[in-house]
Each structure stands twice: as structure tokens, then as C-alpha cells.
Amino acid sequence: MRVFLISLGAAILALILVFGIVIGLVANKMDSKTKIQDHSWLHIDLYGSLPEYDPPSGPLGPLTGGDTQTLQSVLTNLDMAANDKRIDGVVFQLSASNNAGRGKLEEIRRGIARVQASGKTVLAFADYIDLNVLYTAAACDSFFCPPSAYITIIGLDASHPHVKKALKKLGVEPYVSAIKDYKSAAQIVTRDDLTPEAIANKEWMLDEYMDLYLEALTEDRGIDAEGLDAIMTRAEFLASEALSVGIVDGVMYWDELSGRFQQEKDKTPRMVTGSRYAKEDPEDLDLGGKKKIAVIHAQGNIGGRTNGVNPLLGMMMGHESINAELKRALEDENVAAIVLRIDSGGGESLASDLMGHVVEVVSREKPVVVSMVDVAASGGYMMAYRSDWIVADNMTVTGSIGSISAKFDMSELYDKLGLEFSHVTRGPNARFMGQDRGFTDEEFQSFDERHNASFHVWVEGVAEHRNMTVEKVESLGQGRVWTGRQAVANGLTDEIGGLWEAVAAARRLAEIPEDTQTGLWHLPEKQDFLSTLLKGDTAALSLAGRWLVYRSVREDVGQVRQSLDSGAWQTVPPGYLD
């Protein structure tokens, strides 16, 4: 009887799961058939995470409410809206709770300009305004907020943690070979403060950011240096005060703004969500062609063989996954050129070099243009420098031609924990990298020399491919990071721009005539749930599940932090928390 009940319960659960999947698929199909009416407005809600491209949530996202909006979906939607006669304009719903980096926001501003160039209006609405929200909204024709909006616009802070004392208390001794004084990541564990060189690096980066913010705000909203300084000095504003100093153009609630997009015969505003609009085919709007530019998206921390999700680090970029897409694009006869979109702060040098090598091999047959997004530094730059052309946003973080190699002596911590090891070895240096011992002076010297020799190979490679002397690369390297604008000036990159500028460069290098249209083929291709289920791809489903868990935890933590930073708790009536 017990076995029967267990089997019955399992069968019922399976039926519920299947029923839920069917309902999700039907709902998804029904939504995709919703007709877009004339005089509609595209609604783009920038809130929460904004990865550059589809994360591994692909097959499960739409069915679990976890489908992630991406920079690529936003840019594609803006490009379609500019050409779609059914769309009268675009309205952005913004919040400081989005975690898009400066490069992504810069590309969104370019997308807004493309819509405006087509003669259409772009509006912005925000309930929580910081400097990044203001920077984004300033590109729009008008900017609105509700009367109760949080508005905090302050200067930039480049804080840096140091755990040297904490490691000492734990009984952990780091042995770090860092190249070199500008490589601030190593100074997390080696110092109690930053080197003067690392401080200088952060200062020139912040100066660049402030200059770029000011250029945009002066051009878009007439806020000059004195005005911006006064705004940041005051820091916090009521909505009425923000209106008086030119931060916003109007104060109203969302329903009052969205109501403007309602036709007389309609019960609700004619607004098309970004997720719905993303289901439209760009080729139906005359944005395609037989010849294609393959756009390969490479995002996340570099490490391992295949793309995946790390519970602590998030998305991981594996060299076999990226190289397979490069070779796939190379072998497709309809692909005229390749754009490699890099959004990565680096990681494992081996995987970075293996991808960079394939970039070089593929570029011998077809043009390869690298498009840098928020960050393409360290291993991200190692992937890029062997391409035919490099395009970076003004606010991209790139360079970081430096290296860190380390091991940690955990013996004192193990002793505190009462943990002991027995060793049986053969051959010299069997315990060279053992974590229950440190290096001798001779061992660390050997470790450091090998690391520096390996790094010099990278320096020579950059010098060869970027037509520089080794001395010039050294003067730009040693761990220094640069904005995209600085990198164009010093020769590490070639052009300022985002995806569309990279596509234009790819077309130019492929010698595609100006009157010949090309479509974009985005890789890796997004998997839908049904095809994944039918293929029995349990690895993809497991990967999707890990991404959804990671994303949920990260956003929950982020919301708590944003609430504390905004002082939202101060608005709770007295006694409510008792």
C-alpha cells in the first residue's frame, strides 16, 4: 500500500509539472500572438540585472518568471522601434535599482539617439534617481518622476577592500606575484592600503567618468560644471526641488504619464512591453539580409572549458564554448564578418589566451571586430588584442595588462582547526604548491620569475599586434586600467562606439557595399524550453536552474542594500517596526 501511495503521489506531481509546463507554453504562445496596434508606445523597464546577453536561464526563464532582460534585447528593440511604423515612441521606466554598468548605459543612450533620429519621441520616468539614472534619462526628450521619488545624486567613490589583517587573524599567509603596482586586485590581500600608483589609476578613471557625465548633462540638460557640483553638494532632493533645478521636467505618477498613450476608444494605454516586442522579427521590419554579421557574446568571468554559472561568481565564460561559436561563424558561408562582444573583467589566463588564439586564426579568413561593453580588461583584453579592430564605449574599462599569480599558506589556520596532513611524495618539488606550507625564498623567486616570463610573452604579443614597442606596452601595462576613450587615445583600442559601430566596422572590413543589407546572427543561440525538453538536455536545465537561483539571491541582496542606501526605512511611520 505504501509503495502504491508513493507511486500515486509521484504520478500526480508529474502531471502537475506537465500541466504547468503546458500552461506556460500556451500562455507564451498566446502572448506572442498579441497584435501590436498602430500608435503604440514601446515600454522598456530597466530594473534589476542587465547582462549583456541571454544568461543560462534560457529554457526555464519564461516559464518561471525569471526571463532576464538583456542589453542586447534593449538595443534590438530600440532599433526595431526606430523602423516600426506602428510605434510612435518609447518610454523608459528607470530606477537606481538597475545594475547596468556605465558602458551599457552609454550604449542605451546611443540607441535612444537612433530612435530620436527617426523622428520619434523618447520619454523617461524614474522613481529612484541617482547619477546613472540621470545620465540615461538626460538622453530622452523629457524626464518625469513621482512626488515621492527618491533622488540622491552624489559624487563618485572608488572604494577598495583590504583583507590582509583578516587573513592574518585567520592564520592565512598569501604568497602573491603581482605585475605590478597598478594591479589593485592583488592589493586586497597584500596591503592594508593602495599603492600610490593604484590610487593615481583610480583618480584618472574617476576624472574621466566625471568628465563624460558632465559632457552628457551639459549637452542634454544644460547642467554645467558649477550646476552639477551644486547638485552633488546638496545630494538629496524632493521631487519639487529636482524640478526647480532641472533634474526632471515634470512631477507625476506613472499612471498619469502612461495614460497619455491611451487612444479614445481604448480602455488601457497602447503600450508594448519590451519582452513582447522582443518576439518581433527584425527582418519583418526590413532589418535583415542574406549576408550576416555573426555577433558572438562573451560574458562573465573567464575560467574552465564551457560557459556556466558559479554560485559565487555568477556567469562563467569557458574557452571551448566561445571557440566553438567562433568556428561555427567561420564555417557559415553566409557570415561575412564577426563581431565579438566582450563583457568580462578577466579571469584565467590560459582560457583567455586560448580564446585569443582562435580569434587570431579566424581573423585570417574573416574579419573579426571586438566590441567592448562595460569591461574588457585583463583576460578580456587578452581575448581582444589579436582581432582586426577594437571598438570600445567611452566608459568601458579596459587594459589591465598585468597579472596575478598566488598561493596561500593555510598551515596556521589548519593548526587552529586541529587539521593535520600526512604526505607521501615522489620526485622533486612535489609539495611546491601545497597549501599547508609556504614558499622558501628560493621557491618564491622561481615562482615569481616564471610568472614574469609568462607575462612578458603577453606584452610581446600586444606589441606585435598593436604595432607598438615593448616599452610602449610596458608603459600602458603593469596593471593599469583605462576608459575606452583613453584606450583609443593611447592605441590599445581603435574606435569609440558600441554594437552598431562595431557592425559598421565589420561591414567595412568585409568590403560589403553600403547599399547591401546584412542581418545579425546572435550566438550562442537562445534555447527554448520545449526544444531543450525534447532533446533531453538535462545539463542545460540544470544550468538554467543554477542561474535562476543565483539571480534571485543577488537581486534580493541588492534590494536590501538599495533600501538601506536610499534611507527608505526612514519613511516608515513611528512604531511600525515595534
105-163 tens-digit pLDDT: 999 999 999 999 999 999 999 999 999 999 999 999 999 999 999 999 999 999 989 99
Predicted pLDDT of residue 205 = 96
pLDDT tens track for 534-563:
444 555 555 555 555 555 555 555 555 555
**312 and 190 in a common domain:** no
Confidence (pLDDT) at 65 = 46
What is the per-residue pLDDT for 14? 47
In a domain, 182, yes or no: yes
Strand partners, 43: 91, 273
- Rg, C-alpha atoms of the chain: 26
Clarify whether residues 475 and 368 are in a common domain.
yes
| pLDDT for res 311 | 75
Q: What is the pLDDT of residue 266?
A: 73
**Mean pLDDT per 10-residue interval, the chain, length 578 residues:** 51 50 49 77 92 73 60 96 96 92 97 97 97 98 97 94 94 93 92 95 96 97 96 97 96 92 79 91 82 96 89 87 97 97 95 98 98 97 98 97 94 93 94 94 94 95 97 96 97 98 97 93 77 51 57 54 48 33
How many folded domains does the chain comprise? 4
Contact 492, 468 (CB under 8 A): no
Same domain, 187 and 308: no
Angle at which helices 441-465 and 349-363 cross, to 10°: 20
C-alpha cell recorded at residue 166: 583578516
- For residue 229, tell me if it sits in a domain: no
Instruction: Please name the residues in contact with 25: beta carbons below 8 A apart, sequence gap of 6 or more.
Output: 63, 529, 530
Buried b or exposed e, range 202-229, using 16+ CB within 10 angstroms: beebeebbbebbbebbeebbebeeebbe
Are 183 and 129 in the same domain?
A: no
Residue 433's contacts (CB-CB under 8 Å, 6 or more residues apart) are 407
Dihedrals φ, ψ of 561, to 5°? -65, -45
Q: Is residue 390 part of a domain?
A: yes
Contact 95, 126 (CB under 8 A): yes
**Whether residues 215 and 292 fall in one domain:** no
> Does one domain contain both 101 and 23?
no
65-114 pLDDT tens trace: 445 789 999 999 999 999 999 999 999 999 998 889 999 999 999 999 99
Asked whether residue 569 is domain-assigned, the answer is no
User: Other CB atoms closer than 10 Å to residue 529's CB: what's the count?
Assistant: 21
The rounded distance, in Å, linking the Cα atoms of 167 and 331 is 50
Residues in the chain: 578
**At residue 216, what is the residue type?**
A
The predicted structure's pLDDT at residue 569: 40
Are 426 and 322 in a shared domain?
Answer: no
Residues 514 and 542 placed together within one structural domain of the fold = no
Helix (H) or strand (E) holding 298: strand 291-299
Run of H or E including 494: none
Q: Examine the domain organization and report whether 260 and 366 are in the same domain.
A: no
Q: What is the pTM of this model?
A: 0.86
Same domain (yes/no): 347, 458: yes
Predicted pLDDT at 532: 47
**What 8-state DSSP symbol labels residue 561?**
H
Task: Enumerate the β-bridge partners of residue 173.
Answer: 409
User: Can you name the residues that pair with 292 across neighbouring β-strands?
Assistant: 335, 519
Q: Where are the alpha helices (DSSP H) in 84-178?
A: 102-117, 131-137, 164-170
Q: Are 521 and 295 in contact (CB under 8 A)?
A: yes
Q: Residue 269 is part of which domain span?
A: 35-154+235-281+530-561
Whether 187 and 194 have beta carbons less than 8 Å apart is answered as yes
Shared-domain flag, residues 41 and 16: no
Instruction: Please name the residues in contact with 336: beta carbons below 8 A apart, sequence gap of 6 or more.
Output: 291, 292, 293, 366, 367, 506, 507, 510, 512, 518
CATH of the domain at 170: 3.40.1750.10
Residues 204 and 262 in one domain: no
Q: Which three cell numbers stand for residue 46?
A: 530597466
